[in-house]
Amino acid sequence: MSTQPTADKSHVYISELASHVGQEVTLRGWLYNLRSSGKLLFPQLRDGTGLVQCVVFKKNVPEELFDALKGLGQESALVVRGSVRADERAPGGFEIDVTQAEVVQSVEGYPITPKEHGTEFLMDHRHLWLRSRRQHAILKVRHTVVRAVRDFLDTDGFTLCDTPILTPAACEGTTTLFELDYFGEEKAYLSQSGQLYNEATAAAFGKVYCFGPTFRAERSKTRRHLTEFWMVEPEMAYATLDDVMNLAERFLSAIAARVLDERQEELKILERDTEKLERIVPPFPRVHYDDAVKMLHDAHAKGELENRFEWGGDFGAPDETYISKQFDKPVMVHRYPAAVKAFYMARDPERDDLALGVDVLASEGYGEVIGGGERATSLEFLEEQLRIHELPREAFEWYLDLRRYGSVPHAGFGMGIERCVTWMCGIEHVRETIPFPRMLYRLRP
């Protein structure tokens, strides 16, 4: 059709066009959209790094090439050569005056068209949906969140210590365990949290974190729950609940600042109100569970909340939303009733019925993004908790060793990456923040 542009080593990415204005370049990508008007074609090309409008003049290219380009369907694979022109009106700021092109694959009938599709249809075509602008923007924000998380912890003196995914016991209660058969010998479970192992590595390294896939057999279909999600969990030896709250506040602020710094373009595509993100700066309000309950009672009395919350329970989504809407920043609710929290939580020395735990509720009603707290240090207390929670002592013997040999106050938290990205992007549902979401009723693609 024309000389082979694929063999041309001078190709550039769309994101690099600014430094090639006035030059001839080769771009390799896929057709995003095509408009034509008589002697002109306007193919929009995407290459993963951006989107650029190309202009094809009939008189500038061979006739058969013009005709071939004219008939191309969305997502046809295409290599074009042309000169880069700066144009303020063009999306992205540049246009390409095409002189040559090669159709790598001509495509017809791409299933996702610019018209509206239902969510189930899009989820079934997730492997293709990822190419859409909005999905692309969300996953770029995810990438930045992950880098911000790692950079923050790495420069703050934390050592990455990966924890196992196959485990012999539950960390966060037995109701959400994925169980599998381990060589016919015993049962294994997919990890619900790396925390217990973090407690071991924290005693070896001081400040540690783990960061990996985490599994919860959540039977509820909500916009905040995945069955497989990514959790980052820092843990610190010789640390208390207050240390954890201080860390969480600095951590979330650093993530928001990084997203604002690196992802303006994506946030614009997502129509994110960036002022809301700019407010994520220390200090975050800290609210005792008792006071949070009082707020909910007042709200109910004023008719702002339908159900009257009972002291002693865990907050439901409407409760969390109500509490967080009272502030324009994330809010840290601390000292929950021990009865609704995990077995490993330390007790408040002043109130034995309260656990030294904290949930950080994101702003704008995005709900819990971080859960954590101080861990119990006493061997006898934990032995008793294992009995009360009916957990198999044998599988926790190693964990009890941590209380036998050099037990010190220590604390940490876990943050779900997808919840954080949902909030940063200002979108409805966690399912769009991971390339291939796993949920109740969704294992494919």
Query: Residues interacting with Mg ion, by CB under 5 A?
Result: 371
Q: Which residues bind ligand 4AD (CB under 6 A)?
A: 171-172, 193, 195, 216, 218, 225-226, 229, 231, 233, 368-372, 412-416, 418-419, 430
Is residue 283 within 8 Å of residue 331, measured between CB atoms?
no
CB of 368 vs ligand 4AD, minimal distance in Å: 5
Tell me which amino acid residue 322 is: Y
265/314 with CB nearer ligand 4AD: 314
30/209 with CB nearer ligand 4AD: 209
Using CB distances below 5 to 8 A depending on partner kind, what does residue 335 bind out of ligand 4AD, Mg ion, none? Answer: none
361/439 with CB nearer Mg ion: 361
Is residue 412 within 8 Å of residue 236, measured between CB atoms?
yes
30/211 with CB nearer ligand 4AD: 211
Is residue 5 within 8 Å of residue 26, measured between CB atoms?
yes
List the one residue out of 137, 221, 258, 136 whose CA is nearest residue 429.
221
Q: How far apart are CA 179 and CA 197, in angstroms?
A: 19
Which residue lies nearest ligand 4AD, judged by its C-beta?
371
Using CB distances below 5 to 8 A depending on partner kind, what does residue 80 bind out of Mg ion, ligand 4AD, none? Answer: none
82/371 with CB nearer ligand 4AD: 371
Q: How far apart are CA 404 and CA 387, in angstroms?
A: 18
Q: Report the run of H or E that residue 289 belongs to, with start and end.
A: helix 289-301
CB of 141 vs ligand 4AD, minimal distance in Å: 16
CB of 151 vs ligand 4AD, minimal distance in Å: 20
Is residue 386 within 8 Å of residue 403, measured between CB atoms?
no
Burial class of residue 416, CB neighbours in 10 A (0-12, 13-18, 19+): buried
Give 109's DSSP letter.
-
Q: How far apart are CA 3 and CA 104, in angstroms?
A: 13
Using CB distances below 5 to 8 A depending on partner kind, what does residue 193 bind out of ligand 4AD, Mg ion, none? Answer: ligand 4AD
CB of 410 vs ligand 4AD, minimal distance in Å: 11
126/224 with CB nearer Mg ion: 224
CB of 279 vs ligand 4AD, minimal distance in Å: 20
> Could you give the maximum distance between any two Cα atoms of the chain, in Å?
86
CB of 383 vs ligand 4AD, minimal distance in Å: 20
Give 442's DSSP letter.
B
Using CB distances below 5 to 8 A depending on partner kind, what does residue 170 bind out of Mg ion, ligand 4AD, none? Answer: none
Token digits for 432? Answer: 């769009």
Using CB distances below 5 to 8 A depending on partner kind, what does residue 320 bind out of Mg ion, ligand 4AD, none? Answer: none
Using CB distances below 5 to 8 A depending on partner kind, what does residue 413 bind out of Mg ion, ligand 4AD, none? Answer: ligand 4AD
Q: How far apart are CA 43 and CA 103, in angstroms?
A: 12
Q: Rounded to 5 degrees, what are φ and ψ at 71?
A: -95, 5
Using CB distances below 5 to 8 A depending on partner kind, what does residue 437 bind out of Mg ion, ligand 4AD, none? Answer: none
CB of 5 vs ligand 4AD, minimal distance in Å: 44
List the one residue out of 354, 407, 353, 398 whose CA is nearest residue 378.
407
Q: How far apart are CA 59 and CA 319, in angstroms?
A: 65
Q: How far apart are CA 144 and CA 95, in angstroms?
A: 28
Which residue lies nearest Mg ion, judged by its C-beta?
371
30/396 with CB nearer ligand 4AD: 396
94/229 with CB nearer Mg ion: 229
**Please, what is the Cα angle at 414 between 410 and 416, to 5 degrees?**
175
CB of 263 vs Mg ion, minimal distance in Å: 27
Using CB distances below 5 to 8 A depending on partner kind, what does residue 226 bind out of ligand 4AD, Mg ion, none? Answer: ligand 4AD
62/313 with CB nearer ligand 4AD: 313
Q: Rounded to 5 degrees, what are φ and ψ at 411?
A: -160, 160
Q: Rounded to 5 degrees, what are φ and ψ at 158?
A: -90, 145
CB of 371 vs Mg ion, minimal distance in Å: 3
CB of 370 vs Mg ion, minimal distance in Å: 8
100/195 with CB nearer ligand 4AD: 195
Tell me which amino acid residue 113 is: T
